Amino acid sequence: MSLEPIVLVHGGAGDIPRERVEGKLEGVRLAATIGYRKLQETGNVLDAVEEAVRSMELDPYFNAGYGSVLTSDGNVEMEASIMNGATLRAGCVSLVNDIYHPISLARKVMKTPHNFLAGDGAMRLAEQEGIQKLEPGQLVTDYARIALEEWREGQLRGEMEYARTEIGAKNKYKDKGEFGTVGAVAIDIEGNIAVATSTGGITGKLPGRVGDTPLVGAGTYADNRVGGVSTTGHGETIMRYSLAHEILKRIEFLGQSAQEATKNSCRSMTERLIGTAGAITIDFEGRVGISFTSERMAWAYLKGNTMHYGIEQDQHLTQRV
């Protein structure tokens, strides 16, 4: 089998304000370019997705690494996962702080006998692996601080936030804010697929809250036999729907295309559980799926010498590179 390599990324689904659109588009195009170059350099899809996500973890336009949103008590708690579609090995971390690149820590977990490390244990691995430890507060941006202040004001006004929204509370439901997460899916010429996803979670989350992003089957899934998916959106909803896995099951068992499966799964999830989400998919034959039920989601992919990108519903722009 010989396929065209692709690196596909997203920069988070949500109610993204207009003034953040250009910055996000620049960031996803850069991440796709960096991931693609890495794939050309090492030929390893895991390197490609890790590098693409690392680029967005350093970019304050995204809710991951530097720029992560804050917990209800004003701290950063990050999560990430990475998966190898050839072996189904995965590395996942949660409740990590004061490092730039949770995705690289997640990849280090793949070297242990485990799939998932959280909190102190994950931070101990970071130290053992020589990952740079930052000063407390170094990842906190003004944008994240303001978002938390707005969230607190909303709480005082009695607005419901996502984390406490229950099924059936549609009339009280407030689809507000950027539920950014960043993610990347890559395929090489032999059909090897890898996926990486990283996030700061949701503004105002309770300390200790775990979302969808580090969960295999919810935020991330990769299987060379079917495809790879990275999701973004409201974690409490996505994890109950196992969104990444649901998309791949539609491809595998219903014969849907990557685009149909991604769109149908996101829509069915939002219809049933209310919360919004987006997902990016590459199937085993290198077909791409991109869909979101939120207002916007920045995405980009590089294939051959063409960059494809967009952020609005039904927008698909291209640019020769």
Active-site residues, by number, are: 181
For the chain, percent helix, then strand, then coil, each to nearest 5? 35, 25, 40
Q: Least distance to ligand GLY from the beta carbon of 319, Å?
A: 28
Whole-angstrom Cα distance, residue 302 to residue 58? 20
CB of 202 to ligand GLY, least distance (A): 5
Size of the site for ligand GLY (CB under 6 A): 12
Torsion angle of C-alpha atoms 124, 31, 185, 15, degrees rounded to 10? 90
Are 239 and 212 spatial neighbours (Cβ–Cβ below 8 Å)?
A: yes
Confirm if 96 and 126 have CB atoms less than 8 A apart. Answer: yes
- Distance between CA 68 and CA 180 in Å, rounded? 9
Binds ligand GLY (CB under 6 A): choice among 55, 181, 265, 291: 181
Distance CA 304, CA 34 (A): 14
Instruction: Report if residue 179 touches ligand GLY, rule: CB under 6 A.
Output: yes
Smaller CB distance to ligand GLY: residue 232 or 281? 232
Q: Is 212 in the site for ligand GLY (CB under 6 A)?
A: yes
C-alpha to C-alpha distances, 55 to 28, 33, 39, 74, nearest whole angstrom:
9, 10, 14, 24
> How far from chain centre, in Å, is Cα 225?
22
Using the rule CB under 6 A, is 213 a contact of ligand GLY?
Answer: yes
Min separation Cβ 4 and ligand GLY, Å: 29
Task: Specify the residue, 36 or 221, whose C-beta has the smaller distance to ligand GLY.
Answer: 221
- Over the window 223 to 252, marking each residue x when it contacts ligand GLY by CB under 6 A and - when it does not, the resulting string is ---------xxxx-----------------
Contact, 278 vs 229, CB < 8 A?
A: no
Enumerate residues 60-99 that contact ligand GLY by CB under 6 A: none
Give Cβ neighbours of residue 220 (< 8 Å, ≥ 6 apart). Answer: 81, 82, 83, 90, 92, 183, 195, 196, 197, 213, 214, 229, 230, 231, 244
Residue 202 engages ligand GLY in binding (rule: CB under 6 A):
yes
Q: How many Å apart are CA 287 and CA 296, to the nearest integer? A: 22
Q: Is 201 in the site for ligand GLY (CB under 6 A)?
A: yes
Minimum distance between the CB of residue 237 and ligand GLY, rounded to whole angstroms?
A: 8
Stretch that binds ligand GLY, among 47-55, 206-214, 252-260, 295-303 (CB under 6 A): 206-214
Whose Cβ is closer to ligand GLY: residue 54's or residue 209's? Answer: 209
CB closer to ligand GLY out of 224 and 294 = 294
Q: Residue 211, interface with ligand GLY (CB under 6 A)?
A: yes
Distance CA(218)–CA(228), nearest Å, equals 12
Q: CB of residue 308 vs ligand GLY: minimum separation in angstroms?
A: 23
According to DSSP, the residues that pair with 302 across neighbouring strands are 7, 307
- Contact segment (CB under 6 A) with ligand GLY among 84-92, 197-205, 249-257, 296-304 equals 197-205
Q: Does 55 bind ligand GLY (CB under 6 A)?
A: no
Between helix 102-109 and helix 45-57 the angle, nearest 10°, is 150
Q: To the nearest whole angstrom, how small is the minimum distance from the Cβ of residue 92 to ligand GLY? A: 13
Q: What is the DSSP letter of 98?
A: S
Question: Site residues (CB under 6 A) for ligand GLY?
Answer: 179, 181, 199, 201-202, 211-213, 232-235
